[in-house]
C-alpha cells in the first residue's frame, strides 16, 4: 500500500517499481491532481514549461513509468498497446512539470527507454488551442455556434435552444437533471414524423472535462442531423437521435476558467479536501472492478458509491427510460483515434461482439475513406486497460443496448487533449461520416434485435488488485504541500 511521503525524492520511487507491477490496474491511479498548483492573477492554473514525453516500454518496464506517475505533477496522459504484432509493447505519454523534467529524463536514460519530446511547452499549446478572438467579429450564421473555436457551455445550450425554436417539428430539448453545481443536463431529441416508433441512437460527449473536442464533435453531429437533415435521410431519418453534448458541464467550465487539464466533475467529497469524481468510473455495472481508484484525490476516483453523482444518475435514469427504443449507445472521448467496444470493466467479450465489430469496422472504414484518418477498432481491455464503471458497459449490460461504443477522437498524441481549434471541423466531419456508416450497419442488422436482449456473461474475472489506495490517504500530503 503506497504513500506519498518523501515526495521530493523522485528517484526513490523506483524502488517500489517491482512491487507495483502486480498491484496497479491503471496508469492514472496514482496521479494527484492538485488544485493548489501554480495559478496566475486570474486564478487560472499555468502549465508553462510542462512537457509531454512519449516512450515505448515492454510490460516488464511498466512499473518504471508507473512510479513516475506517483511524483507530484507528473501524469500519464495515455497508454496503449502498440499493435497485435508487438506483444506486450506499450506506447505511453507522460506529462512532466519543469521541476521534474531532469529526473524524468534521468529515469528514461537509466532504464534505456527510448523517448521523444512531443509537446515542448504545454501552456503554449493551450494558448494556440484557444487562439485570439477578434473583437467585434460576428460569424455569418444566425446563431453563435461555429466550428472555428471551442465554445462555452452557455453557447452550446443557446444553440440547442435555437434549434428547438427554428426546427420545432424536428427538435425537442429535454432537461434530464442538474449537475452538482446546478447546471442543466440537456439532451436534444431529433425525431421526424413517423407512423410507427423508430429505433434510437444515443450520443453523449464531455463526460471528461478536459476532452474539449468531445462536446465540440457532439455539437457538430447535432448540427448535421438538424440543419442538414436532408442529407442521407434514408439512413439518418430511420432513427430517433438523442444527443447529449455535455455530460459534465461543471468540469468543462472549470477547465475553461481555472484548470485546462481538469478531468472529473466538481462534487465535494465527504471527509476529503480533494474535489470531483470521474463520471466514467461511476456507473454501476462492475463498479470498482479495476482501473479506478478509491482515493478522492485520484483523477480516476470512482466515487463514494456506484452512481453517486447527479450527472451519472441523470444519464442512467433517462437511458433506462429509453432502453426499449435505444439500439445504439455512443460515448465520445479523446484521444487516441480508437473505436472501442465492451467490455471495459473486465476481460471478456460480449455475446454479440462480432456484430458490434462488423458495424464498428464500417464506421472506421468510412472515416479512413473520407480523409485517411486511421482509427483502431477493438475492445477496451484489448487495446487499452481495465476501466470499470464506464458508461459503455452500463449501456450494454444493464440497459441492454445491443450496440455500445466508446470513441477516442483525434489525435494520436501530437497535441493530445490540447487539440488545436483548426482540427474541430475536420474531426467533426470525419466522425459524422463514421456515425452515418455505423447507423447504416445497425439498420441492416436490426431484424436480429427486435427486442433488446443483450446477453451478459457473468463469469468474467474480477480484478482483485483493483483497489490499491486507501481512501483519503493523500489528503494529508495535499494539505502539507
Residue numbers annotated as active site: 408
CA–CA separation, 397 vs 458, rounded Å?
10
Strands 240-244 and 200-205: parallel
- To the nearest 10°, report the CA torsion of 307, 311, 317, 321: -150
Neighbours of 319 (CB within 10 A): 22
Q: Helices 249-257 & 153-166, crossing angle to 10 degrees?
A: 130
For 415-428, b where at least 16 C-beta lie within 10 A, e where not — what string? bbbbbbbebbeebb
CA–CA separation, 465 vs 461, rounded Å?
12
CA–CA separation, 225 vs 399, rounded Å?
25
Residue length of the chain: 481
CA–CA separation, 136 vs 350, rounded Å?
53
Q: Helices 424-445 & 353-371, crossing angle to 10 degrees?
A: 140
Strands 115-119 and 184-190: unpaired
Grid cell at residue 117? 519530446
Residue with cell 516512450: 55
The CA R_g of the chain, rounded to the nearest whole Å, is 22
Task: Give yes or no for a contact between 260 and 210, defined as CB atoms under 8 angstroms apart.
Answer: yes
Laid out side by side, the sheet with 89-96 consists of: 75-81, 89-96, 51-58, 115-119
Closest to 412 (Cα-Cα) out of 119, 215, 149, 131: 119
Amino acid at each position: 500500500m503506497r504513500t506519498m511521503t518523501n515526495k521530493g525524492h523522485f528517484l526513490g520511487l523506483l524502488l517500489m517499481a517491482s512491487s507495483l507491477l502486480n498491484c496497479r490496474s491503471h496508469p492514472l491511479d496514482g496521479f494527484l491532481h492538485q488544485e493548489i498548483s501554480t495559478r496566475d492573477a486570474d486564478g487560472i492554473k499555468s502549465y508553462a514549461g510542462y512537457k509531454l514525453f512519449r516512450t515505448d516500454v515492454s510490460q516488464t518496464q511498466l512499473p518504471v513509468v508507473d512510479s513516475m506517475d506517483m511524483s507530484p505533477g507528473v501524469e500519464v496522459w495515455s497508454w496503449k498497446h502498440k499493435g497485435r504484432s508487438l506483444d506486450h509493447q506499450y506506447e505511453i505519454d507522460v506529462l512532466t512539470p519543469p521541476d521534474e523534467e531532469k529526473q524524468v529524463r534521468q529515469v528514461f536514460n537509466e532504464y534505456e527507454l527510448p523517448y521523444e519530446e512531443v509537446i515542448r511547452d504545454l501552456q503554449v499549446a493551450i494558448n494556440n488551442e484557444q487562439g485570439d478572438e477578434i473583437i467585434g467579429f460576428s460569424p455569418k450564421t444566425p446563431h453563435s455556434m461555429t466550428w472555428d473555436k471551442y465554445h462555452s457551455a452557455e453557447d452550446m445550450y443557446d444553440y440547442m435552444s435555437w434549434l428547438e425554436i427554428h426546427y420545432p417539428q424536428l427538435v425537442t430539448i429535454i432537461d434530464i437533471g442538474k449537475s452538482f453545481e446546478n447546471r442543466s443536463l440537456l439532451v436534444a431529441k431529433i425525431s421526424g414524423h413517423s407512423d410507427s416508433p423508430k429505433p434510437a441512437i444515443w450520443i453523449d460527449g464531455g463526460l471528461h472535462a478536459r476532452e474539449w473536442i468531445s462536446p465540440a464533435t457532439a455539437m457538430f453531429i447535432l448540427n448535421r442531423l438538424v440543419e442538414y437533415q436532408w442529407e442521407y435521410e434514408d439512413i439518418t431519418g430511420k432513427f430517433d437521435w438523442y444527443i447529449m453534448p455535455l455530460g459534465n458541464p461543471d468540469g468543462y467550465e472549470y477547465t475553461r476558467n481555472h484548470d485546462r487539464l481538469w478531468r472529473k466533475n466538481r462534487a465535494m467529497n465527504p471527509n476529503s479536501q480533494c474535489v470531483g469524481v470521474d463520471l466514467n468510473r461511476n456507473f454501476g455495472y462492475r463498479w470498482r472492478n479495476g482501473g479506478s481508484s478509491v482515493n478522492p484525490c485520484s483523477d480516476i476516483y470512482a466515487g463514494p458509491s456506484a452512481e453517486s453523482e447527479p450527472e451519472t444518475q441523470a444519464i442512467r435514469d433517462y437511458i433506462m427510460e429509453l432502453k426499449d427504443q435505444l439500439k445504439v449507445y455512443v460515448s465520445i472521448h479523446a484521444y487516441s483515434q480508437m473505436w472501442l467496444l465492451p467490455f471495459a470493466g473486465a476481460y471478456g467479450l460480449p455475446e454479440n461482439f462480432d456484430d458490434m465489430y462488423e458495424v464498428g469496422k464500417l464506421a472506421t472504414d468510412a472515416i479512413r475513406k473520407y480523409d485517411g484518418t486511421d482509427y483502431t477498432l477493438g475492445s477496451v481491455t484489448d487495446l487499452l486497460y481495465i476501466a470499470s464503471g464506464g458508461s459503455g458497459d452500463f449501456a450494454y449490460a444493464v440497459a441492454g443496448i445491443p450496440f455500445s461504443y466508446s470513441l477516442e477522437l483525434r489525435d494520436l498524441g501530437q497535441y493530445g487533449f490540447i487539440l488545436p481549434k483548426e482540427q474541430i471541423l475536420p474531426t467533426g466531419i470525419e466522425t459524422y461520416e463514421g456515425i452515418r456508416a455505423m447507423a447504416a450497419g445497425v439498420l441492416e442488422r436490426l431484424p436480429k434485435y427486435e427486442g433488446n436482449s443483450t446477453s451478459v456473461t457473468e463469469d468474467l474475472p474480477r480484478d482483485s488488485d483493483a483497489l490499491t489506495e486507501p481512501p483519503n490517504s493523500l489528503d494529508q500530503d495535499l494539505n502539507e504541500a
